[in-house]
């Protein structure tokens, strides 16, 4: 990953963390644990942790429903010609 991609990944991870924190419904605690960059910068998978563990599936579904709004936020706040396709996945071995 080149320096431009590293900066872009850092910005997306930070924005995703702020976004998830604001959008969270309170039924689950969702935290951004990382970002997996793939396909030559065409896709960024935001890695999340969800607590309580029995609500992991609900937390992931909730986050994925918010992807359109997150992508719009990234487009507005990040100065880049190409914004990668975004998705959420479990991070830190929670799959």
**Residue 94: what pLDDT?**
54
pTM for the model stands at 0.89
Q: What is the pLDDT of residue 89?
A: 97
**Average pLDDT along the chain, 95 residues, taken 10 residues at a time:** 89 96 86 89 93 93 96 94 93 66
pLDDT at site 80? 86
What is the Cα–Cα distance from 77 to 30, expressed in whole angstroms? 22
What pLDDT is stored for residue 27 in this prediction?
82
DSSP lists the bridge partners of residue 50 as 30
């Amino acid at each position: 990953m080149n320096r431009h991609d590293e900066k872009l990944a850092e910005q997306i991870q930070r924005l995703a963390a702020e976004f998830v924190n604001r959008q969270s419904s309170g039924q689950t605690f969702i935290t951004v644990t990382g970002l997996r960059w793939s396909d030559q910068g065409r896709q960024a998978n935001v890695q999340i942790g969800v607590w309580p563990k029995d609500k992991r599936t609900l937390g992931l579904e909730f986050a994925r429903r918010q992807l359109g709004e997150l992508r719009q936020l990234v487009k507005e706040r990040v100065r880049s010609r190409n914004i990668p396709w975004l998705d959420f996945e479990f991070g830190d071995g929670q799959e």
